[in-house]
Amino acid sequence: MTSENIIPLVMPKWGLSMKEGKLTAWHVEEGQVISPGQEIMDVETDKIANAVEAADGGPLRRRIGKLGEVYRVKALLGVLAPPEVSDAAIDEYVAGFRVPAASDEGEEDEGPIYLYAETPSGRLRYAERPGQGDPVIFIHGFGGDLNNWLFNIDAVTGSGSVYALDLPGHGGSTKAIAKPGLEALADAVQQFMAAKGLENAQLVAHSMGGAVAALVALRDNRLVKALTLIDTAGLGDEINSSYIDGFVAAESRRDLKPVVQLLFANADLVTRTMLDDLLKYKRLDGVHDALRGLAASMFREGRQTTVLAERLAKSSIPIQLVWGAKDAIIPVAHAKALPNARVEIVAEAGHMTQMEAAGLVNELIRAQAAH
C-alpha cells in the first residue's frame, strides 16, 4: 500500500502568532473510527486552550502525540488510515514525516496574514481565505477583532471565500470614527463589501457585530444571503454595563482580567497573553476615544439604544441565532425575540460561544452556507 490513503493529524495553527502547542488530552483511542468535525484532542497555546476537531474521518491507527508534550505547528500527532494499510506502511510514513518548512519561518511563505482595504471610512484590516462560491464574512464585537475567529476562519473554508474584518476603532483598522455608532460601523461593512465586490454573503457576527450585520442586511438584502448571529446585540435593550464600562476603563492587566473573565463560561480560558494582547490594543492612540464613543452611542446608560428585533422578525433573510446559555453580557433570553430564526442555545458557553463551542458553531456556519 502507498501512503496515499494515510491522513496525518497535525498540530493546528490558531492565529498568526501560534508557533507551537501543548497536547493536553486525547479524546479518541487507537482503532476508533473518527468522523470529520469530531473533537479528537485538546491543545493549549500561550494564548488559549481548545479542543481540536478532526478535519478528516477514518480509523485512528496511531496516536503519536504524547500528553504534556509541546509540538510545533503542523507536527505529526496521529495517523488516520483504512484497515488495508499495513502497520509497516504506517511506520514508514511516520518515520518519513517532515514538518512542512513553511510553519518554521512562517508568514512570507504563506502570503500575508493581514490585508488592508481603503474605504471612505478609512483603512480596514481583514483576513481572507479565497474560495469559489458565496462568501462568508466574520464581524467581531465591541473591543474585539478578527482574531476572535481564530477557531472558525479556517474551519469554514472550503466552499466560498472567507473574510474576517476589523471594524473601525478595532484591531488593525482605522481608529478614527467620525460619528461613532451603529450606522458608522454598518457603513464600513458595506464599504468593505463594495471594495471587495462581495454580495450574497453569509454574515457571521458576534455581539455588537451582530447588530451591525443585521443593519447591513436590513439596508440592502442583495448583500446578505443569511445571518448567523452569535450572542448578538440588537435584539433587546439589556446589556451588562459593568462589562462595557469596565472594558473601556481598564488600564492594567489587573483591571482587565475580571472584566474579560465575564466573557467566558470557563474563566480559565483568559490567559496572560490574551490580556496582554488586549492591553496592547487598548493602548493604541485613538482606541480609547473610539470605544468610549461607540459605548456612549450604542450602550447608553446601560441599555442598548438600537433594537432591530421587530424589523428582523419581518425579514425574509434566513437567520440563525447561537447563544451561550451562560452569557453574562447579553441575556440569552434575547434569542426568543425572533420567531423566524433558528435558535441554538449552547449549554457550556458564555458570551464567546464561537470560541468556547467552536466545533458546533463551525458546523452551523457550514450548514447555513450550504443552503
Partner 1 sequence: MARKLSMKDAINEAVDQEMTRDPTVIMMGEDIVGGAGASGEEDAWGGVLGVTKGLYAKHRNQMIDTPLSESAYVGAAIGAAACGLRPIAELMFVDFIGVCLDQVYNQAAKFRYMFGGKAETPLVIRAMCGAGFRAAAQHSQMLTPIFTHIPGLKVVCPSNAYDTKGLLIQSIRDNDPVIFLEHKNLYGHMSDVPEESYTIPFGEANVVREGKHATIVTYGQTVHRSVDAAAALTKDGVECEVIDLRTLSPIDWGTVIESVEKTGRLICVDEANPRCSIATDVSAHVAQEAFKALKGPIMMVTAPHTPVPFSPALEDIYIPTADAIASAVRKSMVR
Beta carbon nearer to partner 1, 112 or 133 = 112
Q: What does the alpha-carbon distance between residue 100 and residue 92 come to, in Å, rounded to a whole number?
A: 17
Nearer to partner 1, 67 or 284 (CB): 284
156-159, Cβ contacts within 8 angstroms, sequence gap of 24 or more = 156/204, 156/362, 156/365, 156/366, 156/369, 157/129, 157/131, 158/131, 158/366, 159/131, 159/132, 159/133, 159/134, 159/366, 159/369, 159/370
What's the min distance (Å) between Cβ of 112 and partner 1? 8
Cell of 361: 458553531
Looking up cell 443552503, which residue turns up? 371
Write down the least CB distance from residue 257 to partner 1, Å. 12
- DSSP secondary structure letters along 33-53: EE-TT-EEEEEE-SS-EEEEE
Residues for the chain: how many in total? Answer: 371
Cβ-contact 225, 245 below 8 angstroms? no
State the nearest-atom distance from the C-beta of 14 to partner 1, in Å.
15
Reading the block at residue 367, the C-alpha cell is 450548514
Between residues 280 and 300, which has the closer beta carbon with respect to partner 1? 280
Q: Which is nearer to partner 1, 112 or 130 (CB)?
A: 112
Please, what is the minimum distance in Å from the beta carbon of residue 255 to partner 1?
11
Residues near partner 1 (CB under 8 A): 16, 107, 112-114, 172, 175, 251-252, 254, 272, 280, 283-286
- Shorter beta-carbon distance to partner 1: residue 254 or 314: 254
d(CA 231, CA 276): 24
Query: Which of 112/120 has CB closer to partner 1?
Result: 112
Q: Please, which residues have CB within 8 angstroms of residue 367's CB and are 6 or more apart in sequence?
A: none
Rounded to 5 degrees, φ, ψ at 322 are -120, 130
Least distance in angstroms from the C-beta of 11 to partner 1: 20
- Three-state SS for 50-84 is EEEECCCCEEEEEECCCCCCEEECCCEEEEECCCC
Which CB atom, from 257 or from 336, has the smaller least distance to partner 1? Answer: 257
Q: For residue 154, which phi and psi values (nearest 5 degrees)?
A: -75, -25
Q: What is the CA radius of gyration of the chain?
A: 21
Alpha carbon distance, N-terminus to C-terminus of the chain: 39
Shortest Cβ 191–partner 1 spacing (Å): 21
By C-alpha distance, which of 292, 356, 265 is closest to 49? 356
Q: How far is the CB of 265 from partner 1 (least distance, A)?
A: 23
Nearest approach in angstroms of CB 68 to partner 1 is 13
* Residue 302 Ramachandran class (φ > 0 left, ψ -120 to 50 alpha, else beta): left
CB of 338 to partner 1, least distance (A): 38
Smallest separation, CB 127 to partner 1 (Å): 11
